[in-house]
Amino acid sequence: MSVHELVPGVLLPGFAGPQLPEWLRAELQRGLGGVCLFAGNVDAGDPDGTARLAAAIRAVRPETLVAADEEGGVVTRLEGRDGSTLPSPAQLGLVSAAVAERVGAVLGERVRRAGIDLLLAPSADVNDNPANPVIGARSFGADPYEVAARVAATARGIRSRQGVSACVKHWPGHGDTDVDSHRGLPTVPAATVARHAEPFAAAIREGVPAVMTAHIVVAEWGAEPVTVNPDAIARLRAEGFDGVVITDAVDMAAIADTYGLGGGAARALAAGADLVCLGNPELKGEDAAAQYAEVTAAIAAALDDGRLAPERLREAHGRVARLAARMTAARTAGEGETDARAPMSVAPDDVAAIGAALAEASDPSAVSALARIERIVDARAGATQAAATRAVPVVDTLRQLAGPASGGGSGVTVVVADRPSAAQRAVIERVRAAGESVVVNVGAIPGGFDAAVVQLGADSRLSSAIVRSWAGESR
């Protein structure tokens, strides 16, 4: 096989819709490494549709990785229409690591039955910046060692489901940033990276086979983002990780606005990445086939002019191929042996523990005020940590509770927020000046709000169920 023929094998593109497009079928025949599924590939009205789509992909090329971001909480693809029924990492950070392991097993079973074998989770980011615009409730918390325990536990739970691998992210840590790498280029000092290192080290000790890079600049490591920085990726290898290095989506502004989509992909491979995630073409209305063609052309040009060494591409291709072969063997070995008893939902006792922990973290007066809701204001304008789903189940539930069934009486305004940004603080202050109000925080816990707060830690269907139970008890 010529070196140019290896190019598809190091790419992880997305595509539009719930059917396999012809351009993607052709690339699978050419040896495409993997496919990344997003919410637009999931037909919420067809529970078995995602598994059939994955089967159609593998019918063309059996050793194809099928990946998805399915974190639980605010980031879900399989439940993107209505919101996740699984806890967020922020919620799991309030309970024992044993609960996180059990939830990891549920998550692994769900994606396994959907035909997904490369789970782009969990997040090992330490969210110790309450104003972080992109991580927030996707993190298990602000303490590196507590986060590490839950990252390792979640990875164990995922691994317990045959034929599913975890990919920990976003190395070396996106938790203390005030810039969303979808929209700009964050910079952190090396001291922050050192402070946030333990969850990634724990994941590597746990044997995760894949690590996703963050599009952040570590000032002392040079001016280039980690994803395209050879020194940075060499540091990851020096930490003992010899698995597949996967990029975060190269269509994000932190990479694409500086290097271009194709240029960023070529640079990432040259820097030491093994599998390049192209991103979700539907978010910006991009033509997925054209996007993919741009990337393959740029990588070919980099091979031709020496910016990408053939041996580096062969190394990347080999790592991806070995992981795909291992996952294919595990999946094939488990076919026909589905355990109907394997949990597909979180155990009631674990849900109760999460609810109790959220209640303990909340202001009691704010929880009791849920029985007197008159108005709801969603302060999360523009980019929010819930951007991975269009669903706003907590807001929808609060609006329902504000109806006649809420009991009337002196009304309370509820402000839904997910971080103490200047814009969200301004909304909270304006509402507070007008009358009685409480904040419902669906972001990181505690959240950094100077107000009476109901702590939920996710805008999800699970959070909505907890709100309903509290509101009922408060009446």
Of 130, 216, 128, 219, the C-alpha closest to 172 is 216
317: annotated active-site residue: no
Contact by Cβ (8 Å): 8, 316: no
248: annotated active-site residue: yes
3-state SS assignment for residue 402: coil
At residue 413, what are phi and psi to the nearest 5 degrees?
-95, 130
Of the listed 182, 196, 215, 317, which one is catalytic? 182
CA angle 310, 316, 322 (to 5 degrees): 130
Q: How far apart are CA 475 and CA 470, in angstroms?
A: 9
Contact by Cβ (8 Å): 472, 405: no
439, β-bridge pairs = 415, 453
Of the listed 69, 117, 125, 248, which one is catalytic? 248
Instruction: Locate 474 and state its tokens.
Output: 């408060």
- Residue in the structure block whose two tokens are 């599924």: 37
246, β-bridge pairs = 212, 275
Q: What is the CA radius of gyration of the chain?
A: 22
At residue 280, what are phi and psi to the nearest 5 degrees?
-95, 105
Could you give the residue numbers annotated as active site? 182, 248
